[in-house]
Structure 1
Amino acid sequence: MRVSVGHLASLAVLALTCAAPVPAAAEGGPAWEACVGLASTPDERVKACSTVIDTKSETGRRLAGAYCNRGHGLTERHELDAALADLDEAVKLDPNYACAFNNRGRVYSFKRDYDRAIADYDQAIKLDPSLPLAYNNRGESRYNKRDLDGAIADFDTAIKLNPNYAGAYGNRGLTYYRKRDMTRALADYTTRIKLAPDLLAYIDRGNVFRDSEQLDRAAADYGEAIRIAPTDARGWRNRGMIRLYQGDNKGGLADYDKALQYDPSDVFSWNNRGQAKMRLGDKQGAIADFRKALELRPDLPTAREALQRLGAM
């Protein structure tokens, strides 16, 4: 039996924007505080910074900060063109504002214009060599350009500047994983889990264990992902695959039932649940799942081959 890996690897790099620091002043008011406050949500930030900008209550670096922080909120809302316009204005108002360049680089990264992103991160680093975010984010763009050694160098620097930077450990672990250096990837993901034990941290480390054929440890990490985020399909479908590898077809079937409950659009969960049903003797159930997989992806060979073996094609 062949089980499709599909979307089971969580190769997501965590580049970040920063809420830009701005000079303190005696006056500010609630809108200003929400505009620059680190606890503000993206919607709160956009609304508050818009008030600051529209009322023309600030000038100079503080006005640049309002544009930069509104750009931050818009980026988090994936309104990229509006974010880019704000960050262009922030850079125009204060060309020495490192965080504005960092945030604009992030917008270019979302747009997959990695050369422009790197140019902005270069400028942010030139203006503020102590900004870990800029190194981390430049590493993300270098990773996406397949410059893995350059990416690792940037993540190294981000970690040196901030030894508790969980995202940089995760990104460096991902880069080592891409280089198939499982020992270093495992070390970085383990540190990331110590600093920020979230869903992706456990899935990423589970992937290393999976590819290193340490299946019990992979299943344990995917189980932790399920515990942290029980309504996220990724933990269920990753653990389901391990259970099928280990011959636990009933366990795999149960996990894929959950995965499809939370993400019915995942073609590989349909395919792999079909494999579990086929092994358990549920021919009609398997046929239905393989047909659903082919409906979602007509060129999926494992589903097509399985239907041929079952005499359903």
Structure 2
Amino acid sequence: MRVPLGLMALLAALISTAPVPASAEGGPAWDACVGLASTPDDRVKACSTVIDTKSETGRRLAGVYCNRGHGLTEKRELDAALSDLDEAVRLDPTYACAFNNRGRVYSFKRDYDRAIADYDQAIKLDPSMAMAYSNRGESRFNKGDIDGAFADFDAAIKRDPNYATAYANRGLVYYRKHDMAHALADYTTRIKLAPDLLAFIDRGNVYRDSEQLDRAAADYGEAIRVAPTDARGWRNRGMIRLYQGDNKGGLSDYDKALQYDPADVFSWNNRGQAKLRLGDKQGAIADFRKALELKPGLQTAQEQLKRLGAL
């Protein structure tokens, strides 16, 4: 799902690997090909080994192509992934996994109409597949069909009440509709199910925009706790600290944000603001110049440099 850039976190697309029929014999290559814990590289390598042995046919072989296609999608080798998923569909046109995963490839290619058509087919073949509803909702959201997206996320939750991604996605729709109470409820459920970095940032953004700054800072602090080397928690909490007048705390958070993401123009700009408030004029000028170097024409940096006589 695409959301505006800036301080709002991007929602990651759902990774989907539907199970393939179990193997009576198993084996390292098969297990790595169908195992949910395999890395994309390991999945592609293992599934290729299974394909090369020519030991599988029918639904089982379709599942191998489906899983290799998934691995290639995660590696963003989209054309190769599409070829594998086309083959999975050819081998077994009743296999919902292949349509669901091929829909993801089309979605990454921003061909949302084809993505939706594949998700439609996945749902037709397996009406209980919550993942396909959520994925279709993401494509509808990206086409601007907010009501259609909401209906899909709602359907995904009804089919799987423990599906964290669907709560995250529905929460974003509520957020877009400025229904902060329902957005908070969905993000809170998501945190209970999957308390990761984005879960806390998303809820922190709602608290921020609802002017509940202490709660926003607490959620960004939790984001830092679960992912201390990710800049996003630090820079979001830094902003709240500046809002609250805690310039030293804001400066410290932006130091950390830039340690982990030195290309973040807004952290340079905002750290410049913190330094300026703390009386470090030269440090502020250096940060504003860096922000302007990274984003020529950044109005806030230009204005501050002019006020400081440095532009």
| Structure 2 length-normalised TM | 0.96
Q: 1:195 and 2:199 equivalent?
A: no
1:311 is aligned with what amino acid?
G
* Structure 2 partner of 1:62: 60
* Structure 1 partner of 2:9: 10
Q: CA deviation at 1:6?
A: 6.6
Residue range with higher mean Cα deviation, 119-128 or 32-41: 32-41
Q: Distance in 1 between matches of 2:47 and 2:229?
A: 34
Q: Deviations over 1:94-119 (max 9, x none)?
A: 11111100000001111111111101
The equivalent position to 1:71 in structure 2, one of 64, 69, 72, is 69
Q: Distance in 2 between matches of 1:30 and 1:231?
A: 34
Q: CA deviation at 1:140?
A: 0.7
The equivalent position to 1:240 in structure 2, one of 238, 241, 256, is 238
Q: Distance in 2 between matches of 1:176 and 1:297?
A: 32
* Structure 2 partner of 1:174: 172
After TM superposition, the structure 1 = structure 2 runs for residues 52-201 of structure 1, keeping only pairs within 5 Å, are 52-201=50-199
* Structure 1 partner of 2:44: 46
Count, aligned residues: 308
Q: Distance in 2 between matches of 1:115 and 1:95?
A: 19
Q: Relative contact order, CA 8 A, sep 6+: which one is greater?
A: 1
Q: CA deviation at 1:25?
A: 4.6
Q: Deviations over 1:58-99 (max 9, x none)?
A: 111111111101001111111111111100110111111111
1:27/1:13 CA distance change after superposition, 3 Å: closer
* Structure 1 partner of 2:35: 37
Q: Distance in 1 between matches of 2:180 and 2:13?
A: 19
1:143 is aligned with what amino acid?
F
Query: Could you list the runs of 5+ residues in structure 1 that have no partner in the other structure?
Result: none
- Paired residue secondary structure (1:7): coil
Q: Distance in 1 between matches of 2:206 and 2:23?
A: 49
Asked if 2 retains the 8 angstrom alpha-carbon contact of 1:291 and 1:303, the reply is yes
* Structure 2 partner of 1:219: 217
Q: Distance in 2 between matches of 1:268 and 1:37?
A: 40
Q: CA deviation at 1:180?
A: 1.5
Q: Distance in 2 between matches of 1:131 and 1:183?
A: 28
Q: Distance in 2 between matches of 1:10 and 1:270?
A: 18
Q: Distance in 2 between matches of 1:297 and 1:31?
A: 47
Asked if 2 retains the 8 angstrom alpha-carbon contact of 1:125 and 1:134, the reply is yes
Q: CA deviation at 1:262?
A: 0.5
Q: Distance in 2 between matches of 1:109 and 1:268?
A: 29
CA RMSD of aligned residues (A): 1.3
- Paired residue secondary structure (1:8): coil
Q: Distance in 2 between matches of 1:21 and 1:215?
A: 43
Q: CA deviation at 1:272?
A: 0.3
Q: Distance in 1 between matches of 2:253 and 2:109?
A: 35
Q: Deviations over 1:188-208 (max 9, x none)?
A: 000000111110000000000
Q: Distance in 2 between matches of 1:126 and 1:198?
A: 32
* Structure 2 partner of 1:300: 298
Matched residues, percent identical? 83
Q: Distance in 1 between matches of 2:34 and 2:113?
A: 29
